[in-house]
Amino acid sequence: MVEKSIKQLAAALTAGEFSAVELASEYLQRAKAHNGVLNAFITIDEDKTLLEARAADALRAAGNAGPLTGIPLAHKDIFCQEGWRTTCGSKMLESFIAPYSAHVVEQCRKAGLVTLGRTNMDEFAMGSSNENSFYGAVKNPWDKLAVPGGSSGGSAAAVAARLAPIATATDTGGSIRQPAAFCGVTGIKPTYGVVSRFGMIAYASSLDQGGPIGKSAEDCALLLNVMAGFDERDATSLQRDKEDYTRDLNQPLKGLKIGLPKEYFAEGLNAEVASAIDAAIAEYKKLGAQVVEISLPNTRVAIPSYYVIAPAEASSNLSRFDGVRYGHRAAEYSGLADMYEKTRAQGFGWEVKRRILTGTYVLSHGYYDAYYLQAQKVRRLLAEDFQRGLAQCDVIAAPVAPTAAWNIGEKNDDPVAMYLEDIYTLGVNLAGLPGLSHPVGFAKNGRPIGMQLIGNYFAEAKLLNAAHQFQQVTDWHTRAPEL
């Protein structure tokens, strides 16, 4: 049952082979059996899940089922969900029961999807390894000594371990694509503005974007159909016609021009990752694709630009956690300022504090032009690089990360070493482009390797088409770890 695609699960539900309650129960059983080791979920609430599953069955019995009614999914613990504990991986929100739902959660509920639980993540989505969660590190299902990637490590691990058929996630600097790569699953970060940020706890508002993680490109396309759409409550939500992201899945790739940015295949890229990507490109060529070399000359400065813009926006966004309206409040304090300072010192972990402090500094009096404004100018240079590159090709193929998953604890005490791992993913967020990650092989130590496809604005259907065609002739995406 758990190896079925979303389409197969939906067909089985329609045919009455099993009910939404039976399907959810199967996944809950797996989640309960393996979560103790993997720690992919922060919250599992069986009663709530079964309530939703019964409602889905009732909807179907009444003849009102949609294409995904009764399909179980896991939500990243960053999306507010009414009545569910929503922690964002932080002690600050340890006992926060969301009083309203994110747009994405509402859309999923309306489609009849059944919530399996809330997945673990780096605190406030700040991290590339999931070790920054207050609720403990997530283990990579392929190798329990390895990190699952971050920040959506729980969502990626849950899908990889078949504890959920599909999951929601978010990506500010690679947080969908990198954990998808590390866990051998598929994920897509849409064009900025395609998925509403309403109710998605903010990290860096000009970069944050929600998207799906699934076993395959087809599964991701189906969930993206539900997640995407205009929402007037998000000022940056784009007012566009509703798209069917599955519409081009079966288009042949003959003549597809794939651009390889030379800066992404230079020094620093691990040889095993490079050869897995070479092999994948050879498959794409067999499918009729052509390859051209392109250049993204400002790639290196994506890291400093991101690590100015994201902390600056985070320092502003996270000022709302003051112990007054919601979240943790220090038990003892001597006055208002002391209450703020102690509440925030206790409620935030160190990576979050570092980013708040970095952001506070770069925005402080006298430094704004040198840091934030300069970073935004560099951001435009990066976006222009991508436009020049994408004028020469249909999609860009690139590594997701310089290496496969590293060991838990390996880069923990050196934030800068961790930041450097984001080199291939940050540019896409800064430019606001869509990016997809799909599995293309394994390192010798058995850890998965992913490849990134980057398209121009609103090219999600094309990226999903390319990955789907690749997945018709390869089986990396069907491999599952032994638990």
Partner 1 sequence: MSLSLDDVRRIARLARVAVTDDEAQATQTQLNRILGLIEEMRAIDTSGIEPMAHAQDVHLRLREDVVTATDRREAFQSVAPEKENGLYLVPKVIE
Span 342-401, contacts to partner 1 by CB under 8 A: 342, 344-345, 348, 353-354, 356-358, 360-362, 364, 370-371, 373-381, 383
Question: Which residues touch 402 (CB under 8 Å, ≥6 apart)?
Answer: 268, 269, 270, 273, 421, 423, 424
Contact segment (CB under 8 A) with partner 1 among 210-218, 335-343, 443-451, 470-478 equals 335-343
**C-alpha to C-alpha distance for 338 and 73, rounded to whole angstroms:** 42
Choosing from 175, 191, 216, 425, the residue that interacts with partner 1 (CB under 8 A) is: 191
Choosing from 432, 441, 450, 455, the residue that interacts with partner 1 (CB under 8 A) is: 432
Q: What angle do CA 291, 275, 142 make, to 5 degrees?
A: 125
Judged by CB under 8 A, does residue 48 bind partner 1? no
Q: How far is the CB of 373 from partner 1 (least distance, A)?
A: 5
Q: Is the CB of residue 72 less than 8 Å from the CB of residue 116?
A: yes
Q: How far is CA 455 from CA 183, 188, 336, in A?
A: 23, 11, 49
Active site residue 151: yes
**C-alpha to C-alpha distance for 447 and 144, rounded to whole angstroms:** 10
Contact segment (CB under 8 A) with partner 1 among 68-76, 164-172, 296-304, 396-404 equals 296-304
Which of 90, 175, 305, 437 is flagged as catalytic? 175
Q: How far is the CB of 376 from partner 1 (least distance, A)?
A: 4
| CA atoms within 13 Å, Cβ hemisphere of 388 | 13
How many residues touch partner 1 under the rule CB under 8 A: the total is 73
Q: How far is the CB of 240 from partner 1 (least distance, A)?
A: 10
Judged by CB under 8 A, does residue 461 bind partner 1? no
Judged by CB under 8 A, does residue 265 bind partner 1? no
Q: How far is the CB of 416 from partner 1 (least distance, A)?
A: 5
Q: Is the CB of residue 31 less than 8 Å from the CB of residue 116?
A: yes
Active site residue 286: no
Q: How far is the CB of 55 from partner 1 (least distance, A)?
A: 21
Helix axis angle for 374-390 and 302-317, nearest 10°, is 130
Q: How far is CA 11 from CA 7, 50, 70, in A?
A: 6, 20, 11
Binding positions for partner 1, 93-112, rule CB under 8 A: 96-97, 99-100
Judged by CB under 8 A, does residue 266 bind partner 1? no
3 state SS of 20: helix
Which of 101, 128, 129, 151 is flagged as catalytic? 151
Q: Which is nearer to partner 1, 151 or 315 (CB)?
A: 315
Q: How far is the CB of 76 from partner 1 (least distance, A)?
A: 20
Question: Which residues touch 351 (CB under 8 Å, ≥6 apart)?
Answer: 122, 123, 126, 127, 132, 415
Q: How far is CA 232 from CA 8, 170, 194, 198, 238, in A?
A: 34, 20, 12, 9, 9
Paired residues of 143 in beta bridges: 140
Contact segment (CB under 8 A) with partner 1 among 48-56, 242-250, 269-277, 302-310 equals 302-310
Active site residues: 76, 151, 175
